């Protein structure tokens, strides 16, 4: 005799571990002393939007089997599932432990309903509009991003230094990804020679400021993105005012003095920098995350002589190369903002276009670095005072 739906639920519940909401609440507030369980909401998107357990991740029951591995790849990780009342989460827990090999799975008794009845806090996600759900639909399908990650992108503030070869593809793809606020720093105007590689500009905009040209392209692509323009060149007098308050900075500048200056300022302010450089057929990329990894000065204690580091204007550059490196920068920015993957912190990625090879090198934090090793010693009076890096780089050459 086939069991009824209610009987099947009772049978499955007898085979899975159930936990009280009080235990889940205590674990989430244990300050590192709890089980470290990942809490998963298996309800549908419209239910999630009405409120969820703070700290939970959303993987609807409809896509559980296909997406859970992207959220929890380690099958020994403690997992707590919940739904509206505890039935769907019990079924989901049974599936995880009997079909997908997860070894430490629980279902929360009473679901979000009992959680609310106990008076526990409920997170209210920022609801995406219908147009946003359509525009960012392919992101929403990725469990690593989903609604939560897309909301982080929409609320993010990313500053791009340079609207040229590297800044062009980075700005376009970050705008397409839905980064809510993009800052652009560039004092130059669009020149015909730029169009071989600076794809955010066009022939019709030759002669106008690059920040204005880039703003027009960004607005045409995604009018929801706010553009903040700085038609100026970074220097010791303005850098703190410009970079402070941004979540991530994308470094597309083309000279060592500005990079050293940027490094000083971002280390002091604790802002990560996604840095790339290009020359000829070669590019390199890394992330300088204050306190979590080496800084730019750890990588380059002194600049190389000028003859070993000529500019693209003097040496030339393959037109598609900044596209490759700029897209890698954009990818790293998305990872940092969404909190996914393994960003290139403490690693230097080298790309050789002619041989189509990538090489990764470890970059270690210098315990005697004159910048990041003493960042915590900087006084308020010293915050906006910087060395003369023009003279420093000239002396090294």
- The 10s digit of each residue's pLDDT in 282-295 is 999 999 999 899 99
Q: What is the pLDDT of residue 19?
A: 96
195 pLDDT tier (thresholds 50, 70, 90): very high
Q: Could you tell me where the beta strands, DSSP code E, fall in 192-262?
A: 226-230, 248-251
How far lies 242's CA from each of 26, 161, 218, 303, in Å? 42, 10, 20, 24
Rg (CA), the chain: 25
CATH 3.40.250.10 assigned to 5-125: yes
Instruction: Tell me whether the CATH fold assigned to 5-125 matches the one assigned to 156-396.
Output: no
* Residue 157: predicted pLDDT: 97
Q: How far is Cα 202 from Cα 389, in angstroms, rounded to an integer?
A: 34
pLDDT value of residue 3? 60
The predicted pLDDT at position 87 comes to: 94
Banded model confidence at residue 71, pLDDT cuts 50, 70, 90 = confident
The encoded tokens of residue 229 equal 């323009």
More reliable by pLDDT, 304 or 49: 49
- Domains of the chain: which residue ranges? 5-125, 156-396
What local confidence, expressed as pLDDT, does residue 1 receive?
Answer: 44
CA–CA separation, 331 vs 118, rounded Å?
Answer: 42
Exposure class string for 139-158: b at 16+ Cβ within 10 A, else e? bbeebbbbbbbbbbbbebbb
H/E stretch holding 314: helix 312-315
CA 32 to mean position of chain CA atoms: 24
The mean pLDDT of the chain is 91
Match domain 156-396 to its CATH number in 3.20.20.70, 3.40.50.720, 3.40.50.1370, 3.40.50.2300.
Answer: 3.40.50.720
Does the pLDDT of residue 375 top 90, yes or no?
no
Of the candidates 17, 13, 62, 69, which has an alpha carbon nearest to the alpha carbon of residue 41? 62
């Amino acid at each position: 005799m086939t069991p009824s739906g209610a009987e099947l639920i009772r049978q499955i519940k007898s085979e899975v571990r159930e936990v009280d909401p009080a235990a889940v609440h205590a674990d989430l507030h244990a300050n590192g002393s709890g089980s470290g369980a990942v809490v998963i909401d298996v309800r549908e998107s419209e239910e999630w939007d009405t409120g969820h357990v703070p700290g939970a991740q959303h993987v609807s029951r409809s896509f559980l089997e296909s997406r859970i591995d992207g959220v929890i790849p380690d099958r020994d990780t403690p997992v707590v599932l919940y739904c509206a009342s505890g039935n769907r989460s019990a079924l989901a827990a049974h599936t995880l432990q009997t079909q997908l090999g997860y070894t430490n799975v629980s279902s929360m008794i009473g679901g979000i309903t009992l959680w609310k009845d106990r008076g526990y806090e409920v997170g209210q996600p920022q609801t995406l509009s219908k147009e946003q759900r359509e525009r960012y639909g392919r992101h929403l399908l990725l469990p690593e991003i989903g609604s939560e990650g897309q909301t982080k992108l929409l609320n993010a503030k990313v500053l791009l230094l340079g609207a040229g070869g590297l800044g062009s593809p980075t700005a376009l793809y970050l705008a397409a990804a839905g980064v809510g606020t993009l800052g652009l720093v560039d004092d130059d105007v669009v020149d015909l020679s730029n169009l071989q590689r600076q794809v955010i500009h066009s022939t019709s905009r030759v002669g106008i400021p690059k920040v204005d040209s880039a703003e027009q392209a960004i607005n045409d692509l995604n009018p929801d993105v706010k553009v903040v323009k700085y038609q100026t060149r970074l220097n010791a007098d303005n850098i703190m005012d410009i970079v402070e308050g941004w979540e991530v900075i994308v470094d597309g500048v083309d000279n060592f003095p500005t990079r050293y200056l940027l490094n000083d300022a971002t280390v002091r302010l604790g802002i990560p920098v996604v840095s790339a450089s290009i020359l000829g057929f070669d590019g390199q990329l890394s992330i300088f995350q204050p306190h979590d990894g080496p800084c730019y000065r750890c990588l380059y204690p002194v600049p190389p002589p000028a003859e070993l580091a000529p500019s693209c204007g003097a040496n030339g550059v393959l037109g598609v190369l900044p596209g490759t490196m700029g897209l890698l920068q954009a990818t790293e920015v998305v990872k940092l903002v969404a909190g996914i993957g393994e960003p290139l912190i403490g690693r230097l990625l080298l790309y050789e276009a002619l041989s189509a090879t990538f090489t990764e090198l470890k970059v270690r934090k210098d315990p005697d670095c004159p910048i990041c090793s003493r960042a915590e010693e900087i006084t308020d009076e010293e915050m906006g005072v910087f060395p003369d890096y023009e003279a420093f780089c000239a002396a090294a050459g």
